[in-house]
């Protein structure tokens, strides 16, 4: 950062109450922190999308109660508690990376809306417990299952709404003083933010597509076990969910970009890296949908698995664009270049080795889990 830009940043920062950075600085260059954040956040979004979309699909199955959906219902009821555990476990690393990279901003916004932020853990416990209650409740107690799924879905949506509020507030330091002055008890929500509802929609929109792909993968595994008739309802519900999810996700992207401030929207659509990544996100998901639909009737496993990988890459593109735009929104007030780097390469090496081992185990156990679930 040049001296001139540093002085301009200091002058702008003086007008907003941004606390000083952690004197320990960054443990590794910020580019590494961002790259790891992109990776772990993409994995978290995949788990979150499958679980949230699965809860919605299972609730619809329980409400409509079409004949022949029993196998789909059992599969979703059994897999959702496990998906929720993935969601929580994979949500911890990106949250830690946000706290390290944007700590001055994230902790400030968390204090301003602390009363709501502290509800995240209770809501997680409620949703997790209700998914297990649904799994363990007999199929004859349909009302209990419907209520438990509806409350679990509402809890998950509430968590998403709290997160979007916090993350948008973290990049709006000019609003902090007014929000805190209006309510010193930690009840300051960022409801005036124009991008709040578009980003909330974008946060949720991939859920149906990812859950639909999960059903198509399960259908392929069921077919490989010689139970083609049982796979049919998986394919029907999976393809409809996949198509609906693609439309919703594309609409969410368009709405979010349209709601951005003019100068940030221009950056997203000017033909640079953000534009290329947005186009890649839509293109990758479109190819994934086409491939999944083309191979759904054949029963092969390669089609839905490759489609799932493409959707993961599409989500990764959105994750990167999201952070690139956040950097530009914060540029008048804050820059990572102002924070010193004090490398701790030994600790980082231990972390990197643990991360690689954890990802390998994640893939191995996920394959085993899908196979075991398909047997039921």
Instruction: Tell me which residue of 1, 111, 340 sits closest to 10, measured CA to CA.
Output: 1
**CB-based contacts of 134: which residues, under 8 Å, 6+ apart?**
58, 77, 80, 144, 145, 148, 149, 152
User: Residue 52 belongs to what H/E stretch?
Assistant: helix 30-64
pLDDT > 90 in the chain, percent? 72
Query: Above 90 in pLDDT, residue 138?
Result: no
The predicted pLDDT at position 374 comes to: 63
The predicted pLDDT at position 166 comes to: 96
Residue 376 pLDDT class (50, 70, 90 cuts): low
pLDDT > 70 in the chain, percent? 95
The 8-class DSSP code of residue 227 comes to -
Span 308-323, average pLDDT: 96
Query: Above 80 in pLDDT, residue 15?
Result: no
Query: Above 50 in pLDDT, residue 61?
Result: yes
Mean pLDDT score of the chain: 90
Contact 145, 137 (CB under 8 A): yes
Span 16-40, average pLDDT: 92
Phi, psi for 26 (deg, rounded to 5):
-85, 140
Query: Above 70 in pLDDT, residue 11?
Result: no
Lowest mean pLDDT among 79-83, 132-136, 279-283, 368-372: 368-372
Q: How far is CA 172 from the centre of its chain?
A: 21
Query: Above 70 in pLDDT, residue 7?
Result: no
Query: Above 70 in pLDDT, residue 14?
Result: no
User: Residue 4 belongs to what H/E stretch?
Assistant: helix 3-13
The predicted pLDDT at position 68 comes to: 74
Span 254-268, average pLDDT: 95
Phi, psi for 194 (deg, rounded to 5):
-65, -25
Q: Which residue matches tokens 């702008």? A: 12
**CB-based contacts of 258: which residues, under 8 Å, 6+ apart?**
198, 265
Lowest mean pLDDT among 15-29, 95-109, 156-170: 15-29
């Amino acid at each position: 950062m040049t001296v001139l830009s540093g002085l301009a940043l200091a002058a702008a920062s003086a007008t907003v109450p941004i606390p000083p950075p952690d004197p320990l600085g960054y443990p590794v260059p910020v580019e590494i922190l961002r790259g790891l954040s992109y990776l772990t956040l993409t994995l978290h979004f995949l788990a979150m999308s499958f679980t949230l979309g699965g809860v919605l699909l299972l609730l619809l199955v329980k409400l409509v109660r079409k004949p022949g959906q029993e196998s789909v219902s059992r599969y979703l009821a059994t897999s959702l508690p496990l998906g929720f555990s993935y969601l929580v476990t994979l949500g911890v690393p990106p949250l830690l990376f946000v706290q390290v990279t944007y700590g001055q901003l994230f902790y400030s916004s968390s204090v301003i809306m602390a009363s709501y932020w502290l509800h995240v853990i209770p809501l997680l416990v409620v949703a997790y417990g209700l998914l297990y209650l649904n799994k363990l409740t007999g199929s004859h107690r349909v009302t209990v299952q419907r209520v438990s799924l509806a409350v679990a879905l509402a809890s998950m949506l509430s968590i998403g709404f709290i997160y979007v509020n916090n993350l948008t507030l973290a990049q709006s330091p000019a609003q902090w003083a007014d929000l805190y002055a209006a309510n010193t008890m930690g009840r300051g929500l960022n409801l005036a933010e124009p991008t709040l509802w578009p980003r909330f929609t974008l946060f949720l929109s991939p859920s149906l597509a990812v859950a639909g792909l999960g059903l198509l993968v399960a259908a392929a595994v069921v077919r490989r076990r010689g139970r083609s008739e049982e796979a049919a309802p998986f394919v029907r519900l999976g393809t409809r969910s996949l198509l609906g999810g693609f439309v919703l996700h594309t609409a969410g992207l368009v709405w979010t970009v349209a709601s951005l401030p003019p100068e940030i929207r221009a950056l997203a659509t000017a033909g640079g890296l953000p534009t290329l990544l947005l186009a890649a996100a839509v293109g990758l998901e479109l190819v994934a949908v086409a491939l999944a639909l083309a191979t759904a009737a054949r029963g092969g496993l390669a089609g839905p698995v490759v489609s799932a990988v493409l959707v993961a890459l599409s989500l990764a593109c959105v994750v990167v664009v999201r952070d690139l735009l956040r950097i530009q929104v914060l540029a008048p007030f804050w820059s990572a270049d102002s924070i010193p780097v004090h490398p701790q390469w030994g600790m980082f090496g231990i972390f990197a080795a643990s991360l690689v081992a954890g990802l390998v185990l994640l893939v191995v156990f996920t394959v085993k889990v899908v196979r075991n679930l398909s047997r039921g």
